[in-house]
Amino acid sequence: MLFLLAAYAAVAVAIPWWQPRLGRAVWAVASLVPLATVAWAGTRAARVLDGGEYRETLAWAPSLGLTVDLRLDPLSLLMLWVVAGVGALVLLYCRYYVERDAARQAALLLAFAGAMTGLVLADNVFVLYVFWELTTVASFLLIAGRGEEENERRAARQALLVTVAGGLVMLLGLVLLGWTAGTYRISAILADPPRGGAVSAAAVLVLIGAFAKSAQMPLHGWLPAAMVAPTPVSAYLHAAAMVKAGVYLVARLAPALAEVAPWRPMVLAVGLTTMVLAAWRALRATDLKLLLAYGTISELGLLVTLLGAGTRTAALAGAVMLLAHAAFKSALFLSVGILDHRAGTRDIRELSGVGRRMPVLFAVTALAAASMAGIPPLVGYLGKEAYFEAFLYGDARLDGHRQLTVVLVIGSALTVAYAARFVQGAFGGPPEGAARRAERPEAGFVAPVAVLAGAGLALGVGYAGTAALAAAYADAYPPGPHGPYELSLWHGFTPVLGLSALTLALGGLVHLGRRSLPVTALLPDAQRAFDRTIAAADRLALTVTRHTQVGSLPLYLVVLLTTVVVVPGAALAAGAPPLGSPLPWWSPVEPFLAVVVLTAAAAVVGTRHRLTGILLTGAVGYGVAGMFLVRGAPDLALTQFLVETMTLVVVVLVLRRMPARFSPGRTMTRVRLVRAAAAGAVGVLVTCFALVASAARTAPAISSGYAHRMEEAGAENIVNAIVVDFRALDTLGEISVLLVAAVGTVSLIRVGGRGDARTPGGGPGGPSPTAHWDEPVRTWLPGAPERPGGERSVLLEVATRLLFPSILVLSLFLLFSGHYGPGGGFAGGLVAGQALVLRYLVGGRADLGAAVRVPASVVTGSGMLLAAAVGTFPLLLGGVPLESTVVTLHPPVVGTVKFATSLFFDVGVYLLVVGVVLELLSAVGVSLGQDMAEADEAEATAEDEEQGGPR
Amino acid sequence: MTRSGNRRADRVLPALRHVPMIVWLWLLWILLWGATSAVILVGGLLVAVGVVLSFPLPAVLPGAVPEPLRIGRLLIHVLTDLVKSGCTVAWQVVRHGRRVSCGIIEVPLRVDSDLLIAAVAEFTTMSPGSVVVEIDRRRKRLYVHALPVRDRRDIAHRRAEVQAMERRIALAVGHRRGVEDPGPNPARPDDARDDP
Amino acid sequence: MSVLLDTVTAVLFPAGAAFCFLGALGLVRFPDTMSRLHAAAKAQTLGLVLVLVGASAQMPGRHAPALLLVALFQLFTAPITSQIIARTAYRTHGLDRNLLLGDALADRLARDGTPLGGPGRARPDEDAER
Amino acid sequence: MTAVLPALPVLLPALGAGVPLLRLSRPVTRGLGVGVLAGVVGCGAALLVLADRHGPQTLRVGGWPAPLGITLVADRLSALLLTVSALVALAVLLFAVGQGVAEERRSSAVVFHPAYLVLVTGMSLAFLTGDLFNLFVAFEVMLAASYVLITLDGDENRTRAGMTYTIVSLTSSLLFLSLVALVYAATGTVTLAQLGARLAELPDGLRSALALLLLSVLGIKAAIVPLHFWLPDSYPTAPAPITAVFAALLTKVGVYALLRTQTLLFPRTGVWILLACTAIITMIVGILGALVQDDLNRLLSFTLVGHIGFMLFGLALFDTRGLTGTILYVVHHIVVQAALFLVAGLAVFRTETAALHRMAGRPRPGPLVVTLFVLPALSLSGVPPFSGFVAKLALLEAAVAQGTPAAYALAGTALLTSLLTLYAMTRVWTAAFMGRPPDRREAGPESPPGAGGDRPRGTRLMLAATAGMAATGVAVAVCAGPLARIGERAAEDLLHPREYRSAVLEGGER
Amino acid sequence: MTLLYGITLTVIAVSGIVTLLRLVRGPLALDRIMALDVLVTMTIAATAVGSAARDDTTAIPVLVVLALLAFIGSVTAAHLIEKREGMR
Amino acid sequence: MNTIDVTMALVIGGLFAVGFFLMLQRSLMRIVLGFILLGHGTNLLLLVAGGTPGRPPVPDGRIDDPAGTADPLPQAMALTAIVITFGLTAFLMALAYRSWRMTGHDEVRDDVEDRRIGTVRERAEAGSAADRETGGTAPGGER
Ligand code: NA
Ligand code: NA
């Protein structure tokens, strides 16, 4: 069985490649696979009908219950023949029908056939679902075609959504069913059906899926819409095969679930209602395909009723009707396809007299229609007899079977009526219009119709074979109270025969009186319901999205902060853990620093000047650094001071090119209050959280362990040892951040590619007349003379000349002394960076270039490379990454030199930081005065806007 | 002198001009470490030489031989001045506060060297009560904001003070010519160039 | 020795602190940027130097020079900042001309025919205006 | 040699990140990136095998034992996600090189490659680290790189989006750091393996407040509703490969961190109602958002938000099956979302618009592109037999097995979301890949992306990368069996982290 | 001695607060730069006193760095102001 | 015993409040300032909530009792955090600058596409355009 599926898949995939060479022969090739399937099934039939079975298994994801279990049993066999037989004929038929996209359609039809094959063979609920959805997808693709027409796309989407929705519901049902049964194997579930409330729920869910797939009311709307697909597709998917999947599932599970609470009422109610109403609707259709589509819905209703009823006779009738319907409905569809193809229309009102123009087609179509109407000795009649028998003499389980029989009679009569309407409408009347122009179909075109119609006759006449096939499935049920029902063309003059006759008579009457039929549509307009559902979903989506996704960053942040405050805050408030007994302060200096920090921070809020803002922020930073010092963190304080200065420099260098004041935004007081409340709440939360958390500490901090390991680390400064050794990985990450931030900053600032343009400082007023007074005479910094005199200062240049080497020595000191005191690569690098800032500031870009003759990115890159390489190097010696060793050397003169190899890591950090500073400088490093005119303009604009009132 | 000796001298002499800076950097290194172990001494020398060589800058030479005694005197003067005028400013804060009176004074200088002018400006600004507002390098003038300044006499007095400071500085670095010169001479060459 | 050092500290610390305070007071009390600069740069620096010397007296011998180094650097860099600020203040009208007894620089600029545009008063930014 | 494997996924890209800055030629830079990522994939795979056979692979970085130093831990979950993520990163890199995003301007050649490798460094570190603070650092590394990438060569729109993205991410980072501080305040350690026990001793209120703060913080990174707003406003504006790698990886790292920390630090029994509700809301709001979008990338971004809900689904159940489902879903989603964004990139590259209503009027992409879209689109919608189905099935089974009302609510919402995802996908499909091709080409495309010159070459590499991703998606479905088993064992590990703890805390000293 | 340190520190701290007033009030950005500079000076002084009081030398590198480098920020900021205002 | 004192808790809370208030503004420069302040806040939190205060964790030639020494681990972590914050601050500044260069302001404006979807009428117009192309079920159009 697996090889069958593989064959379908392989040929389907290969067809697009073969098609250009094969031309129309591609259809014949494609049909070989289903033909082979029919034959293969034939070889297995004897044993299967004898009560045997064939199994194959392929593990997929067994722990999830996903095992590709395949099983050939009587029901599968029956379905397999239907699917493969009709499939082969449809493919052969396509040779004449399909004009374009042959490769695509052949591949899809074959893939679909393969999926159906898998579906009917599946013995695992999930595998069944897999193939189920594959048929859905294939159906979508076949309906949509190229999707050039709006209605094609729409119909395809509708079919997809409805059946997938049903499928999803069914999936949940299947999971529930399998979970309750303890197995996802269908045969095992059937062998030992689970019971209980969960199973009822599962049954309902599964039925909904089956109903959607089989176009049962009220989920039927997609099937008529799907008639936009090419007729072979309609014949195969939407008559013979795919829509049977739901019926098949009902048939498959009914032996296990028919006795579960809502199964039978649901099946009977939905099935019979659908049968009658859809048949009624078919009587009003003027498009032949639509007529057949409603007819199909009606028949599917009947099949659901029969196969879901859960008695032997009903199942027998269902199996027969399944075969019958596959044969006659696909024959009829194919017939319509020929009409459409040759006459160019399939509207009853335009077709007239085709019967005389195409007598053979007329004959075989009529034969198929007769089977649909249930005229003996066709198979349709066999089925009709059986289902009247099933309901008329149904056992007690078919509650209210007499009333149900009446419904069946009405439905069957209507079927007779629309069958007549079909034949009459398609072929009747004098030849005129379209029919006269129509070209006669080739024999090969009609042959599939003939074969299918003939099959109806053969199955009827050779009822013994039909019976064997159907009974093999139906025997899953116990025989009814009157013993097992036998199929036969003649049971004698029984009430059932009377009912059959009655349906024909009634049907004939309805057909004759068709012009006086009431025009009320008894069927709800499923199309509109679907459209409304979709529109409602879209409206809901729009409403929800409009109110959540407003696009305003401040609002997003307010929501975010509120969430952060409310969610953990509520837990904290609810738990109310103790605040502990905190000291008012650790050192009496703290309150002073606190005043500085908080005052400056508050002042930042009030300012409208960018520069003032950054200066005040700097004050906060210095205050915080002071706190670091007070709490015994000189390393932190050192870094904080350096970073603060560097931040000031970077911000100021950027600000140089931006307006002095903030853009004058007008914010409503209410909004400001909301923001303040959110921010304040976070402040309160953090305060409480910090107190509570620190009060809760019971275990000692693990950091007490560091002091004992300092010898091994070869250092005295624990913080530095942590940074470069114990937790060097943090530092590696940290410098990666720096690297990438610097790289990003450069790329952001060098926008527009005019970063290098140099405009001598001077806007409207020009530089101060004194600006060039203090230009030095001598060269103190190599690059400085390249600057305009107005930007130079003798004091600064002399001082820089003196300070620069000293600062570098200081930076190296910090780098090397980091192991013993505050310092380290980062602080050292920043100090060196400050030296370069000074050079840049005083001597300009050229002087910075003279100081460092390597591109900034090379310095950064080598820093990163060095740090990472130092981390990786121990691997070569068989050590672990970022491992540090204490090295002791005895060079001459000096005596003993002891250092940890983590020093080289620190050197990498140092280099990287220097490089980053260089990158930042080179990014913002255009001569002072650049862009000032622009900044001024922007500010003027902003001022105008401010005066002009709110925007 | 041979040619090669000349060339060597050409190389050695400029290098020698960097010795003061190297010495200072070495000293700085030692002071920072606060230790004089062999590793630190040797390392410091390496660092100092390395920094000077890796980041070449024009040499800083006062143009004459500094006189340690005068340097000492200068420092003492500066420190006492610092305290003295520190008190003055402090008194101004306490006494006058919002009604302080000041003036901007033009001080012509006699030295004509970037370095010395910068030094004068530096020391002037360092000493309380006077801040250099502008330096006119070519015309050798400092514009000093002085506080407190009540009358013309104060102005003259402050100007004289700055000029006295100038003289002390020039003498301390052994730079007599600049001081002895009677007045400002814009055409005077740079100290670096008049160095033999 | 210790007593002597303690005495040095005991004298220098309060003195330094006092100068710090007076400097801060001047920063608040003086009427314009230029005069505040005096308080900021002078009294402050002096105070700091006194405190540093006082502290170095208490430090272990090998660290004392480092504190003096701090004083040295502070003495060197503070005037630079002051000069730049003073220069900027003058160029950007950051001084109150009403306090000036005389302005040789303005006279000079007038003689050169390049007066610094705009009349007297300092221009505070909006923060202060509100 | 295998002992140091956990470090290589971090160290290799970190080493590689510095190299492009040394101004090497383009082929070298590209080759380096590809080589490094291939190496990371290899390491990840090796770690996965080792972790699955021999338990968590640990490495004491610097040789220091756990509470003092940082220990890298590759257990099944981290190794699995690392491998898949690195694979995606590799494909995306190829795509980016093909599209020329990496070298649109001369200067950005030294931006993209370092930033991209740093991104991978951060990602690997986040997966592997066994230390809470180091996890924060890892996030920062990853995010810093992402800030740079999202604003790469940015126009006005991209800059604006970059602001939103950066600022929200920074906010979450600050909160994360505060959380680390609070955790250390309460416990005195940041080693994950140690934290579980120490946190258990805390008062309930504090403990659950910490758990919820962590949830909120990681929720921002993982884009959980209502903390998701930033995502659809920012991701879609980036160049296609960058959007792809963000969508595929960044949020997943957040989910991973959520899985790791909630199970290791705040274990609970039974369904987590708050998270269940959040998951439901996330699914609904996300997928509804997708329905109204006209911009292809935005639409996909909203589906991303919606499908984060699926991952929370399993975590909310907090049992083996649920976590298995989540793990499978994460793996599936990484691959499929990347493939979708890449194919969207292809479509946009060819039709020169991302607006669905305009795409319809443009020349249709070829059948190959359609196929490349169909596979991941169906997979995302959970249509069998693709990977999304397997993952969804695992979640459904978990929900049914648990059988609580919350579980059923989750299952129902998940199914509805699947359906709506399919609806959204069909909208894309019908708009972008169907419809009548225009009779004449519209004059003047509004935004010609990339340099016109070497487009065919670029397109081929882009196609190959996309096809690779789509194929990987199929492979995930095919290998669902082994994946599910590994996922199940990984979930077991998460729920019973004894092995994890002992691997980190016990064993050899330096 | 403890009292001495206490008094010194308090005076310096109060000076810091007084300086803060200027920092917050401005009115010129130059005033703020100056005030920030003074704040740094105070920090150095206070730290020196604190180091003496705690007999702790670890803060010395911090002081050296501050004394040597704090002026760079001020000079940069002053430059900005001159460039801006100079044009008017 | 609390490792954190009331003053510190208040300072940290204050920094968080002010910082987040600034983060909630539209001007990116204010956001940068807010971010810097928040960085200070978190670093302080890390330091003070993390460990006991005391002498610097540098032995300084003496052997101190570990009890009187400050906890070094939070210091190291804060050190890392400071550096990261610095790098990101620079990047944010660059972003502000770029925004200003491209748009003439550094404000974080609302998302255009969101606004478009939020505006029903506009959406209806776009939606009807989409309908024609994509199959009639595009949302929101008043048909
Ligand atoms: Na007719
Ligand atoms: Na000048």
Residues of A (741-770) whose Cβ lies below 8 Å from C: 765, 768-770
| Mean pLDDT on A871-878 | 88
Look-up of token digits 């975590």? D315
Q: What is the pLDDT of residue B82?
A: 84
Of the ligands numbered here, which is closest to the C-alpha atom of B135?
2
CA distance to partner chain F, nearest, from residue A778 (Å): 36
Q: Mean pLDDT, to the nearest integer, of A920-948?
A: 48
Q: Per mean pLDDT, which of A856-860, B144-148, D278-282, D503-507 is the most reliable? A: D278-282
CB A646 within 8 A of CB A834: yes
Q: At what angle do helices D273-291 and D296-317 cross, to 10 degrees?
A: 160
Q: Are strands C100-103 and B102-108 parallel, antiparallel or unpaired?
A: parallel
pLDDT of residue D269: 86
CB A564 within 8 A of CB D216: yes
Burial code (b: 16+ CB inside 10 Å, e: under 16) for B91-129 equals: ebbeebeeebbbbbbbbebbbbbbbbbbbbbbbbbbbbb
**For chain C, what percent of residues have pLDDT higher than 70?**
88
In chain E, the residue whose alpha carbon lies closest to the alpha carbon of C51 is E45
Domain that holds residue B8: 3-54
Q: Which helix (H) or strand (E) holds F96?
A: helix F72-103
- At B14-52, the pLDDT tens digits run 778 888 899 999 999 999 998 888 889 999 999 999 999
> Cis link prior to A495 (omega < 30° from 0)?
no
Report the C-alpha gap between B138 and B130 in whole angstroms: 22
Which of F29, F53, F94 shows the shortest C-beta gap to A662? F29
- B48 and B86 both lie in a single domain: no
pLDDT band at A100 (very low <50, low <70, confident <90, very high): confident
Best mutation site among D133, D147, D301, D433 for testing chain F: the one with the most F CBs within 10 Å?
A: D133
Give the residues across from A887 on adjacent strands.
A899
In the prediction, which pLDDT does D474 show? 92
The chains in contact with chain D, meaning 3 or more Cβ pairs closer than 8 Å, are A, F
Element (H, E) at B131: strand B130-136
Maximum average pLDDT range among A226-235, B97-106, D110-119, D279-288: D279-288
Distance from the alpha carbon of residue A781 to the mean position of ligand 2, in angstroms:
14
Q: What local confidence, expressed as pLDDT, does residue A83 receive?
A: 92
Q: How many Å apart are CA A832 and CA A823, to the nearest integer? A: 12
Mean of the per-residue pLDDT values for chain A?
86
Say which amino acid occupies D53. R
Contact D389, D383 (CB under 8 A): yes
Which DSSP letter does residue A668 get? -
Q: Pick from D153, D185, D381: which is nearest to D287 by CA? A: D381
Q: What's the whole-model pTM score?
A: 0.92
- Nearest in space to D132 (alpha carbons), one of D226, D210, D80, D35: D210
Helix axes D8-18, A728-749, angle to 10 degrees: 40
Rg (CA), chain C: 20
Shared-domain flag, residues B44 and B85 = no
CA dist D190 and A615 (Å) reads 35
Q: Would you give the distance in Å from CA A900 to the centre of its chain?
A: 53
Question: How far is C-alpha C56 from the chain's CA centre?
Answer: 23
Residues 6+ apart with CB under 8 A from D53: none
pLDDT band at C129, cuts 50/70/90?
very low
Q: Check residue F85 and give its pLDDT.
A: 94
Structure letter (DSSP) for residue A790:
G
Q: Which two tokens stand for residue C106?
A: 């303005």
Query: What is the side-by-side strand order in the sheet with B141-146?
Result: B130-136, B141-146, B102-108, C100-103
Q: Could you give the count of Cα atoms lying within 13 Å of A570 in the half-sphere of its Cβ?
A: 8
B24 and chain A: CB distance < 8 Å anywhere? yes
- Centre of ligand 1 from the C-alpha of residue A354, in Å: 9
Total count of residues recorded for chain B = 196
pLDDT along chain D (510 residues), means of 10: 87 90 82 93 95 92 90 94 96 89 58 92 96 96 94 82 92 95 92 92 92 94 91 89 92 94 91 94 94 90 94 94 95 94 87 79 73 91 91 94 93 94 89 65 41 52 92 92 94 92 70
pLDDT value at residue D490: 95
Taking 3-state DSSP, the helix, strand and coil percentages for chain C, each rounded to the nearest 5, stand at 75, 5, 20
- Using CB atoms, pick whichever of E25, E45, E79 lies closest to residue C48: E45
Give me the residue label for tokens 């319809």. Answer: D360
pLDDT at A940 over 70: no
Q: Do chains D and E touch (3 or more CB pairs under 8 A)?
A: no
Residue D401's pLDDT is 93
| Number of continuous H segments (helices) and E segments (strands) in chain D | 21, 2
In this structure, are B126 and B35 located in the same domain? no
Q: Buried b vs exposed e over A481-511: b needs ≥16 C-beta within 10 Å?
A: eeeebebeeeeeeeebeebbeebbebbeebb
Residues B20 and B84 in one domain: no
CB of A64 within 8 Å of a chain F CB? The answer is no
pLDDT of residue D466: 93
- Cα–Cα dist A72/A54, whole Å: 5
- The answer, for C42 touching chain B at a CB cutoff of 8 Å, is yes
pLDDT at A882 over 80: yes
A-contacting residues in F 93-132 (Cβ below 8 Å) = 93-98, 100-102, 104-108, 110-115, 117-118, 120, 123
Contact residues, chain A, for D383 at CB < 8 Å: 133, 136-137, 164
Asked if CATH classification 1.10.287 holds for the domain at C2-99, the reply, yes or no, is yes
3-state secondary structure at position D446? coil
Return the pLDDT at F62.
55
- Determine the 3-state secondary structure of D307 from DSSP: helix
* The pLDDT value given to residue A515: 78
Its sign, for the CA torsion A779, A781, A784, A790, is: negative
The rounded radius of gyration (Å) of the Cα atoms in chain B is: 21
Domains defined along chain E, listed by start: 2-87 (1.10.287)
What is the per-residue pLDDT across A553-601, written as a single tens digit (0 to 9) for each?
999 999 999 999 999 999 999 988 888 888 888 888 899 999 999 999 9
Of the CA atoms within 13 Å of residue B183, those in its CB half-sphere come to 0
How far apart are the C-alpha atoms of C103 and C100, rounded to whole Å? 7
Name the pairing type of β-strands A897-900 and C100-103.
Answer: unpaired
Query: Which tens digit of pLDDT belongs to each residue from F75-115?
Result: 999 999 999 999 999 999 888 888 888 877 778 888 777 77
- A626 pLDDT band (50/70/90 cuts)? very high
pLDDT, averaged across chain F: 78
Res D363: pLDDT: 64
- The tokens describing A336, both together, are 């319509």
Q: Which chain E residues touch A600 with a CB distance below 8 Å?
A: 20, 23-24
C15 touches chain E (CB under 8 A): no
Instruction: Report strand pairing: B141-146 vs B102-108.
Output: antiparallel
Average pLDDT of span A15-41: 89
Quick one: CA dihedral A191, A197, A199, A200, positive or negative? Answer: positive
- The burial class, CB within 10 Å (0-12 / 13-18 / 19+), for A520 is exposed
Q: Is the pLDDT of residue A129 over 60?
A: yes
Q: Are strands B130-136 and B141-146 parallel, antiparallel or unpaired?
A: antiparallel
- Token output for D198: 């120490």
DSSP letter, residue C43: I
Number of domains within chain B: 2
Q: How far apart are the first and last CA of chain B?
A: 18
pLDDT of residue A736: 94
**Which residues touch A286 (CB under 8 Å, ≥6 apart)?**
A347, A348, A349, A425
Ranges of chain E with pLDDT below 70: 85-88
**Distance, CA B134 to ligand 2 centroid (Å)?**
9
The per-residue pLDDT for D167 is 94
pLDDT band at B191 (very low <50, low <70, confident <90, very high): very low
pLDDT over 90 at A130, yes or no:
yes
Domain F6-56+69-109 carries which CATH code? 1.10.287.3510
**Sequence spans of domains, chain C:** 2-99, 103-130
Q: A260: which 2 tokens?
A: 């579960």
Same structural domain, B20 and B112: no
pLDDT computed for residue B196 by the predictor? 32
Neighbours of A396 (CB within 10 A): 8
Is A53 a residue whose pLDDT tops 90? no
Residues B27 and B84 in one domain: no
Which of B42, B57, B58 has its CB closest to that of A893?
B42
* Residues D17 and D45 sit within 8 Å (Cβ to Cβ): no
B186 pLDDT more than 60: no
pLDDT score recorded for residue D19: 87
* In-domain check, residue B168: yes
Count of CA atoms in the C-beta half-sphere (13 A) of D308: 35
Q: Where are the domains of chain F?
A: 6-56+69-109
Angstrom distance (rounded) from CA D167 to CA D171: 6
Measured between CA atoms, how close is A868 to chain E, in angstroms? 28
B180 assigned to some structural domain? no
Taking each helix axis as running N to C, give the angle between helix D76-99 and helix D26-54, from 0 to 180 degrees, rounded to the nearest 10: 160
Q: Which ligand number lies closest to the CA of residue A773?
A: 2
Q: Per the CB < 8 Å rule, is D148 touching F108?
A: no
Is residue A772 predicted with pLDDT exceeding 90?
no
Q: What is the number of the ligand closest to the CA of A286?
A: 1
Question: SS3 for A481-492, per residue?
Answer: CCCCCCCCCCCC
